[in-house]
Amino acid sequence: MTNLQELPSRGHLLTEQINPASQHLDQLTPLELVDLFNQEDAQTLRAIAQAREALAQTITATAARLRQGGRLFYVGAGTSGRLGVLDAAECPPTFCTPPHLVQGILAGGDAALVRSSEGLEDCYEDGIAVVRDRQITAQDVVIGITAGGTTPYVHGALDGAQAVGALTVFMACVPSDQVQRAADIDIRLLVGPELLAGSTRLKAGTATKMALNIISTGVMVQLGKVYGNRMVDVAVTNRKLLDRALRILTDLTGIDRAAAADLLERSGYQVKRALLMHWTGLDALAAQALLDQHNGQLHAAKSAALDS
């Protein structure tokens, strides 16, 4: 147990400060409380806008690493870690990525997803160890997420990642003059004090989720997993996604649903491959070979086929 007299105060951190707008939170009516939350949540949009350049840099750098065989790791504890796990888990069904490509690492492991294990965030050595356990290399990207900026587990993981040459990104909701951190890219999501003092699952969590949405979607766009605004690499694994795949095909080709179903089946339930088959007359194997030649970029593969 830490000696209480030696425990440093975190009260100066932006995420721990008292929000003057909610000093009477416990006396508000439910409607007043909802209105106040709505008012404060506008800060999340401003925070994302202020971090736009760092977010764009992260997308560019991460896509470059993944094209060369690298992987993306989100590392965090508590809410920050759970949000990373959530974003990683959504990539395979949305973009048909292999599970290893985007991984969420949470202090305390899977058990901490549903039962709080906040004490584990204090172990710097565990953060270093997870880099070794996941065999992270110089090809990979590690995004350390910590709302208050001080989580030892995250700092350990970033230090371990830097030691092997991985690209490192630091994402926090406090300004750099409060918590400094060496990283290749520094993302600060400054949403201000929480309505419930110190509860970073609120605005900080919302802004973090927004930032991760932008990063993962942006990276997948760069990797050619989107055509226009359609998820053409969607994994067709249930009725909802089958319907989405059929609608993508009918919308982009003009064929009817029955023809789209036949095309999708002949493509091996690969929407991107099906589209290229329709536009070029190629069979499934030839269409896939052409996509592979153009790194999965449908626009490029289509142009190459039609121009030849």
Catalytic site positions: 90, 121
Local structure of 228: helix, strand or coil? coil
Quote the CA–CA distance of 28 and 44 in Å, as a whole number. Answer: 22
- Bridge partners (DSSP) of residue 73 are 103, 142
Q: Which amino acid is at 244?
A: R
- Taking the CB of residue 125, how many other CB atoms lie within 10 A of it? 11
Q: In the chain, which residue ranges form alpha helices assigned H by DSSP?
A: 30-50, 52-67, 78-95, 124-133, 152-163, 203-222, 239-253, 257-266, 271-280, 284-293, 298-307
Which residue bears the tokens 């993981």?
A: 157
